[in-house]
Amino acid sequence: MIPGSIAVILQRGLMRRTLLPAVICLVVMALVMAKGQEQMLGRQNEELAKRLAHYVEHYMDGVWRGLEHFVDTSPKPGHAVRREALGEMLGLAAQLERVLLVDSSNTVVASVPPAPEGVDFPIRFDEASGRRLLLSRPIYSAQTAKTTVFIGVRALSGETLVAELDLSEMTANIETMAALGLGEVVVCDAYGNVISHPDARQVATQANLGGDRLFGMDLGSAGYAIFEQDEGIYLGARAPVKVLGWKVMVSTPVGEALAPLLAPVVGAASLMGVVFLVLTLMLRRELHRRIVRPMAAVVHGLDGLTPGAQYQPSENPAFSELARFEKAIVAMGERIQEGEAILRENERRFRALFEQAAVGLTQCTLEGRYLRANRRFQQIVGYTMDELRRMTFRDITDPSDIPAEEQGLEALQRSGEAFFEQEKRYVRKDGGLIWVHLSMSAVRGEEGRILYFIGVAEDITARKTAEQALLASLAEKEVLLREIHHRVKNNLQVISSLLYLQSDHLQDPEALAMFQESRNRIGSMALVHEELYRSGDLSSVPVEPYLQRLVPRLLAASCDGRDISCKLDVDDVQLVVDQAIPFGLIVNELVTNSLKHAFKGRERGEVAVSVRLKGGEITLRVEDDGVGLPPDFDLEGTATLGMQLVVQLAMQLRGRLCVRQGSGAAFECVFQAKEPSRNESRECVDR
């Protein structure tokens, strides 16, 4: 069968063979873009729902922790005191509308603002988590136009601290966060009662979404679903607030989500149709004039050539000659296709590895301009590939991190190193900062010249955020521990002041002496907490400054005008809190005993206190140049409270206590030094 003329083929089938594939390509492109838009919006809605659920849980947890702190530290006796404390709490927590204290029989004990007391509290809570209580159904106030819920914390005494929580701040923050996405955000409790809704009337009327499709449907592994409701088609996602049992739902009309695709697809289809039509007509004319007739003439001339004859172009070429040309072209094309198939396979493997990598991959010029970036890197920085091609790494890098990266790239070019690494911050398209671990390596040609750079960026924002949160938590606990030591010191000083005031009513000298000794003991303990409060290290107490403040106080309190001096000789020793208090009490008792008994009938004297650290053991020595101890002195059998206390405190230190006789009295206590542990601060807080 003789094939038809190429001119006939162009006339009959060129438009059909070109326009039909173009239309099919447009339809496929539209479907792919629509599916991609659907998945992207679904992930955005799912992420927004999870983020809002985490925020709600964190917000409620903060309020509960405030109530728990109040319950654990509030005064117990007296209704007036409790009302005053409730009032102070209400003043500090602006999100609370009112606070009530309910006893174990569910009777209102105290209320701020004032309300009837002694009546039965009508609300029965659901258990939220442990001692935390929650009334799941929200309450809308027509007077204040606010949505509130009742929450509570149960104390160990059986009482319950109840608070009416104003959700306006939380709702406003949810609306602000929801404005960043395309979806409509609704928060409801486990039974469908509306807590937050874009339509304020839904909250005001206490609407219930229990029958909503998105509320109860199974979202499957995708995390989102398309559903039909109220004569519309929506794309929705849902996330639970686990501790509260609430749900955060985000939904977007599908038509609104896919609307941005309509104009580009229609415009592209119209433009491509016109272009294909014009090109087809021009191509048909040009092929006939420039290719068909010359090719036919060439083939006819080649077939008719004889040895030694010259080539004569033909005026009327036949299509059979073109077929022979096609046969030769096909043979050559097959060889070319084999090579191209190998190239395409290699390209496919490289593209799959590059595009599907779980970390961000980039290809940059020597100047830092982006040539290629995979999908993960585009997600990290928020820019598309077209936008990145017009940028360098400096355009999306935090300014403070640019010098380090420039130095690393210069080192790669100058010293020939294989790669360099750094932790840096990218500035996302939306303005946010994201931390990455960046590894840059150089790709070199056969001559060793750098062709381009390959970058590997791993998102470490979560790790950096956790590190910052840990540092903030440690700083907060350090402040809390300092406050505890400060308050303990103040409380001990108050006790000392009370003893001082009480001693004004005593006439018995022995009783006054006992009060003074008690005040000295309390002062030595308070001084430990004061040193901890002032110290930069909350896990240990420096001995030298502690004794420099303690011993002069004891001399001032017990010398009674006598010229008694004190000599301190202290090594650089640190004591943990468990050892500092018994150590201070021992010094207090031994120095006080010397001042009371060693210098009777004398106006001058000296007390020496030394502390030595050797081989992991601490030796405390308190001696005087007084009258000395009685010959029958028995350390274990003494009847005085002070010496009994010294013996017990030495046992508490797990140390050895001994007495040295000489020109005066000398006491030695040897105990093992402890190293401050990492949990020392936490143990102090627990105590």
Lowest mean pLDDT among 52-61, 190-199, 256-265, 551-560: 256-265
Looking at residue 535, its pLDDT comes to 56
Q: What is the pLDDT of residues 94-131, one digit of tens each?
A: 788 888 888 888 888 888 888 787 788 877 777 766 78
Range 555-567 average pLDDT: 75
Residue with tokens 């939306």: 430
Query: What pLDDT sits at residue 314?
Result: 44
- Specify the CATH number of the domain 24-256: 3.30.450.20
**Best-predicted range by mean pLDDT (141-145, 232-236, 257-261, 549-553):** 232-236
Say whether 472-686 and 357-459 share the same fold: no
For range 394-422, the mean pLDDT: 85
Mean pLDDT of 540-549: 80
**What is the SS3 assignment for 460?**
coil
> In the predicted model, is pLDDT for residue 318 greater than 60?
no
Give pLDDT tens digits for 39-61.
888 888 888 889 989 998 898 88
| Per-residue tokens: 52 | 């809002």
Side chain identity at 230, as an amino acid letter? D
Indicate if the pLDDT at residue 352 is higher than 70.
Answer: yes
Q: Answer with the residue of higher pLDDT: 486 or 260.
A: 260
The whole model's pTM is what?
0.40
Is pLDDT of 463 > 70? Answer: yes
Q: Which of 546, 521, 534 has the alpha carbon at shortest distance from 485?
A: 534
Kindly list the domain boundaries of the chain, sorted by start residue.
24-256, 357-459, 472-686
Tell me the mean pLDDT in the region 25-31. Answer: 75
CB neighbours (10 Å) of residue 282?
A: 10
For residue 165, what pLDDT is reported? 86
Q: What percent of the chain has pLDDT over 70?
A: 70
Give the long-range contacts of residues 672-678, CB within 8 A, separation 24 or more. 672/616, 672/617, 672/618, 673/573, 673/575, 673/613, 673/616, 673/617, 673/618, 674/575, 674/576, 674/578, 674/579, 675/576, 676/537, 676/539, 676/540, 676/574, 676/576, 677/539, 677/576
pLDDT digits (tens, 9 = 90+) for 184-220: 889 988 888 888 888 878 877 778 888 888 888 877 7
pLDDT in the model for residue 485:
52
Q: Mean pLDDT, to the nearest integer, of 299-318?
A: 50
Of 53-67, 324-338, 595-609, which gets the smallest average pLDDT?
Answer: 324-338
Q: What is the mean pLDDT of residues 336-343?
A: 74
Residue 311 has pLDDT above 50, yes or no: no
Residue 322 · residue 299 · CB < 8 Å? yes
HEC per residue, 215-266: HHCCCCCCCEEEEEECCEEEEEEEEEECCCCEEEEEEEEHHHHHHHHHHHHH
Q: Which CATH architecture has domain 472-686?
A: 2-Layer Sandwich (3.30)
Identify whether the C-beta of residue 512 lies closer than 8 Å to the C-beta of residue 489.
no
For residue 85, give every residue at least 6 positions away whose Cβ sits within 8 Å of its Cβ, in sequence order, or none.
70, 74, 75
Mean pLDDT of the region 335-363 = 80
pLDDT of res. 263: 66
Residue 681: predicted pLDDT:
43
Residue 2 confidence (pLDDT) above 70? no
pLDDT band of 80, cuts 50, 70, 90? low
The answer on pLDDT for 678 being more than 50 is no
In this structure, of 227-231, 374-378, 624-628, 633-637, the range with the lowest mean pLDDT score is 633-637
Whether residue 374 has pLDDT greater than 70: yes
pLDDT at 254: 77
Whether pLDDT at 24 is above 80: no
90/74 Cα distance (integer angstroms): 13
Number of alpha carbons in the 13 Å side-chain half-sphere of residue 87: 9
What pLDDT, on the 0 to 100 scale, is given for residue 685? 38
What pLDDT score was predicted for residue 473?
67
Give the residue-averaged pLDDT of 251-272: 70
For residue 484, the model assigns a pLDDT of 57
Which residues is 40 bridged to in the sheet?
A: none
**Domain 357-459 indexed as CATH 3.30.450.20:** yes
pLDDT at 329 > cutoff 50: no
Which two structure tokens, joined as six digits, stand for 327? 């046969």
DSSP 8-state assignment for residue 394: G
The rounded distance, in Å, linking the Cα atoms of 553 and 570 is: 17
Q: What is the pLDDT of residue 565?
A: 83
- Position 326 scores a pLDDT of 47
What confidence score (pLDDT) does residue 195 get? 85
Q: Per-residue confidence at 686, pLDDT binned at 50, 70, 90?
A: very low
pLDDT at site 307: 58
* Burial (CB count within 10 angstroms: exposed 0-12, middle 13-18, buried 19+), residue 564: buried
The β-bridge partners of 591 are none
pLDDT at 533: 47
* pLDDT level of residue 319 (50, 70, 90 thresholds): very low
